[in-house]
Structure 1
Amino acid sequence: MPDEPAPITEHLGELRKRIFWILATLLVFSAIAFSFAEQIFLFLLEPVIAVMEDRGSKLQAISPTETFFTYLKAALLAGFMASLPVTFWHLWAFVSPGLYSQERRAVIPFVFASSLLFAGGAVFGYTQVFPLVFEFLSGFDTSGLIEQSWTMSLAFSTTARLFLAFGVAFELPVLIFFLAATGIVSARKLWSGTPYAVLGIFVTAAILTPPDFVSQVLLAIPMLVLYLLGVGVAWIFDPERRRERIQARDEESPGEPGSDSEDHSE
């Protein structure tokens, strides 16, 4: 059974404590990552650098502080990725008092699946999508009259936005499972609402990605696949279907075992 309702002040205090530990973990990992900020930056922007080199160009820093603050952003992004398991654990710890005991035991699978899916989405975007997006964005100059000079700050911001967008998008199955397991939505409603989900996915992809059609479509397609996967998972673990199976099994059973023999013995 869920715990007894707690006062709102207690919830706020618990939330404040969880946020503190999440931010503290983020700062610690970011401080460690700052020692390798240049390597992290070069790794993350490898798809951009490859496109620029093909066109005989280089990234530019147009202000004295641009390099420092861009490296700082790279360290923060690396710290964020490294602290994801801790972040998901604290999020689960905050909502778990409102769950049933069997649902609370899913903390380790939840943390593992959430972290793995976020990292998997980021890796998928980095390896499969980023090269196509930056090749597309750099291909508009067909006249040869425009020299494309991308600043390292803007190039990193675009990369980080795509990186986080794909990570967040790949959390969709976990979100659907959580909503279905807690009874907020059912697998049937999710399936019947697929047309609306498709519209919402494309709108979300347009918000999360830079304003170009290629990156939006390349994010929306895996999100749609993940949505359907999430619906399948929700169908398996749907509490409504479990109750229906239990009810059907009870109706099919003739009675308690041994009841007839007890009647004969009397």
Structure 2
Amino acid sequence: MSDNRSNDPQDESQQETFISHLVELRERLVKAVAGVILVFVGLVYWAPVIFNLFARPLMDALPKGGRMIVTDVTGSFFVPMKVTLLVAFLIALPWVLYQVWQFVAPGLYQHEKRLIVPLVSSSYVLFLCGVAFAYFLVFPTVFHFMAHYNAPLGADMSTDIDKYLSFAMTTFLAFGITFEVPVVVIVLVRFGVVELEKLKQIRPYVIVGAFIVAAVVTPPDVLSQLLLAVPLIALYELGLLMARFVGRPETSADAAGETQAD
């Protein structure tokens, strides 16, 4: 019988390359996870302190005698651990992004490397700025409003720590993503997905969309919605301004002429 298996050296080379990529991906994932775990282990002793800092905006807004409660048997242990793990991830995120960069960099052209490095760095910084904005400005404002809103109703504001964690993470994520708007605008313009003039033309729709998004992800009060919608609009305008200084995307011929990094 004839052997139906392919002995094409090119196919074998492609298979070996694919396997080597999988092996490298596994190694990068292991290193990234190990970095997060290492930071978490270093912080776990201070988990109660980290949680107290995390809960301070709510505790400072509560009326005298107000406090947080635990409705789950294991909540007082696992919630601080979750908060500490999230803090560890934020601290280790540059290391995680570095592992991602090491995996994808060999397949990028030089002009793509020059663009991606500042974009990733600025994305990380802007996300942290969004989290800080929510923690230092939005949380005190919203919690102060809600605490005083409950007073005339004669209701005590005692929040479960697990629900507070869920609310805080949702808010952090919303504001962190919101602060990425300038990066998104620059990427869209740089790669020619949308023309800058088109982004300027849809400005009224962006304003309406900002208030819709704010109404969905924030508590049902006008103040907290404004605290998300106004920065979103301002960051969009900042992205438009910065996109003016971004060069036009290179043609495919130009890109093909560049040598890929080894």
Give the TM-score range, shorter chain: 0.7 to 0.9
The amino acid of 1:102's aligned partner reads H
In the alignment, what sits opposite 1:38?
48
The structure 2 residue matched to 1:84, chosen from 60, 85, 93, is 93
Q: Which residue of 2 aligns with 1:167?
A: 176
Aligned residues: 236
Q: Pick closer, same or farther for the CA change 1:219–1:58 going to 2, 3 Å.
A: same
Aligned with 1:112: secondary structure?
A: helix
The secondary structure found in structure 2 opposite 1:35 is helix
Separation in structure 2 between the aligned mates of residue 111 and residue 94 of structure 1, nearest angstrom: 14
Q: Deviations over 1:110-143 (max 9, x none)?
A: 3331221111111122111110011122222243
Deviation string, structure 1 residues 12-45 (Cα, Å, up to 9, x no partner) = 8476665554444333323332222111111111
Equivalent runs, 1:12-161 vs 2, <5 Å: 13=22, 19-52=29-62, 54-92=63-101, 100-143=109-152, 145-161=154-170
CA deviation string 1:224-266 (max 9, x = no partner): 11111111111210406x99xxxxxxxxxxxxxxxxxxxxxxx
Partners of 1:91 and 1:198 in 2: CA distance: 34
Contact 1:209-1:215 within 8 A present in 2 as well = yes
Aligned equivalents of 1:11 and 1:238: distance in 2?
36
Equivalent-residue separation in structure 2 for 1:17 and 1:185 (angstroms): 37
Alignment CA distance shift 1:227-1:91 (3 Å): farther
Q: What is the RMSD of the two structures over their aligned residues, measured on CA atoms?
A: 3.0
TM-score, length of structure 1 as denominator length: 0.75
Q: Distance between the aligned counterparts of 1:114 and 1:121, measured in 2?
A: 10
TM-score (norm 2): 0.76
Task: Report the identity percentage.
Answer: 34
Distance 1:90 1:192 in 2: 39
Q: 1:226 to 1:98 in 2, by over 3 A?
A: farther
Unaligned runs of 5+ in 1: 1-5, 244-266
Q: Secondary structure at the match of 2:70?
A: coil
* Letter matched to residue 80 of structure 1: F
Q: Distance in 2 between matches of 1:183 and 1:11?
A: 33
The 2-side partners of 1:75 and 1:56 are apart by 27
Which residue does the alignment assign to 1:178? 187
Cα distance in 1 for residues equivalent to 2:201 and 2:152 = 49
Give 1:63 deviation, angstroms. 2.6
SS at match of 2:238: helix
Q: Deviations over 1:180-228 (max 9, x none)?
A: 2222222112111212222333333344434544333211111111111
Q: Distance in 1 between matches of 2:85 and 2:155?
A: 34
What's 1:194 paired with?
203
1:107 Cα deviation from its structure 2 partner: 4.3
Structure 2: stretches of 5+ with no match in the other structure? 1-13, 252-262
Is the alpha carbon distance of 1:21 and 1:39 closer, same or farther for their aligned partners in structure 2, counting shifts above 3 Å? same
Q: Secondary structure at the match of 2:204?
A: helix
Aligned partners of 1:172 and 1:223 also within 8 Å: yes
